[in-house]
Amino acid sequence: KNQVEQSPQSLIILEGKNCTLQCNYTVSPFSNLRWYKQDTGRGPVSLTIMTFSENTKSNGRYTATLDADTKQSSLHITASQLSDSASYICVVSAKSGAAGNKLTFGGGTRVLVKP
Amino acid sequence: GAGVSQTPSNKVTEKGKYVELRCDPISGHTALYWYRQSLGQGPEFLIYFQGTGAADDSGLPNDRFFAVRPEGSVSTLKIQRTERGDSAVYLCASSFNTDGEQYFGPGTRLTVT
């Protein structure tokens, strides 16, 4: 069964500090991996997307890494801001042919940035 | 519209009632997905449409759940004989084509009392 596991479940950091979120997956056949940011009461918004051949991707203060051999990914947030408070969801896409790009979602890491 | 929209934003219904949730995808997007998100968890796949047809409905939990997309644009998720366990946020996403990035709507929060 395809699974995506994230850690930690939640964390609290002080404004201006850095943090790293982890994602392990067992999705096959692998197509790509995305990190989404989900604000409370909103739908997820894509931050980064990486395919098998990419091992790092940045989007502003967000940097994602991918190790396709160990099936691990991380999302690093640099110089956190209060607006970074949200859930961060790791999403792995499996190639499913005519059935589309089926996504398997992790449970998310809830980040709270405090002043 | 500029993004995926969903209505209503909130729906409270009594156990046993029938509900319909609507999704308006981004104009021109051929693929449409429905997900269900329970509190504190990531979304779970329900059903995927390519055009008017349901290409994959393997995520629907049982036959009380049904979805349609008659004209290949707007989709309606229908839940019969609602149960308290159906309470969740129902998310809709659309993408330009089968392999395209999915853009999510804000979701409909369903509460079954």
The predicted pLDDT at position A1 comes to 75
Query: Which pLDDT band holds residue B100 (cuts at 50, 70, 90)?
Result: confident
Q: Cα(B97)–Cα(B72) distance, rounded to whole angstroms?
A: 12
The predicted pLDDT at position A13 comes to 97
Distance (Å) from the C-alpha of residue A49 to the closest C-alpha of chain B? 9
Among A39, A95, A105, pick the best mutation site for testing chain B contact (most B Cβ within 10 A): A105
From residue A10, give the alpha-carbon distance in Å to each of A19, A44, A61, A89, B22: 11, 17, 19, 12, 32
Which range, of A104-108, A110-114, B6-10, B81-85, averages the lowest pLDDT? A104-108
Contact assessment for residue B18 and residue B79, using Cβ atoms and an 8 Å cutoff: yes
Q: Cα(A43)–Cα(B61) distance, rounded to whole angstroms?
A: 22
Checking if the pLDDT of B14 tops 90, the result is yes
- For chain A, what is the radius of gyration of the CA atoms? 14
SS3 string, B26-78, reads CCCCCEEEEEEECCCCCCEEEEEEECCEEEECCCCCCCCEEEECCCCCCEEEE
Checking if the pLDDT of B72 tops 60, the result is yes
The predicted pLDDT at position A96 comes to 63
Phi, psi of A103 (to 5 degrees): -100, 140
Checking if the pLDDT of B1 tops 80, the result is no
Torsion sign across C-alpha atoms A78, A81, A85, A87: negative
The predicted pLDDT at position B2 comes to 77
Q: Cα(B113)–Cα(B15) distance, rounded to whole angstroms?
A: 6
Number of neighbours of residue B34 by Cβ within 10 angstroms: 27
Q: Cα(B57)–Cα(B49) distance, rounded to whole angstroms?
A: 9
Number of neighbours of residue A101 by Cβ within 10 angstroms: 20
Beta strand A19-25 with A72-77: parallel, antiparallel or unpaired?
antiparallel
Beta strand B108-112 with B88-95: parallel, antiparallel or unpaired?
antiparallel
Cβ contact B56–A44 (<8 Å): no
Interval A29-43: pLDDT, tens: 888 899 999 998 889
Residue reference for tokens 């709507």? B105
Averaged over successive runs of 10 residues, the pLDDT of chain A (115 residues) comes to 91 97 92 92 91 92 95 97 96 71 87 97
Cα A33 from chain centroid (whole Å): 8
Q: Cα(A15)–Cα(B6) distance, rounded to whole angstroms?
A: 34
Phi, psi of B97 (to 5 degrees): -145, -175
B92-103 average pLDDT score: 88
Interface of B with A (CB under 8 A): 4, 31, 33, 35, 40-45, 48, 50, 55-56, 91, 93, 95, 98-107
Distance (Å) from the C-alpha of residue A31 to the closest C-alpha of chain B? 10
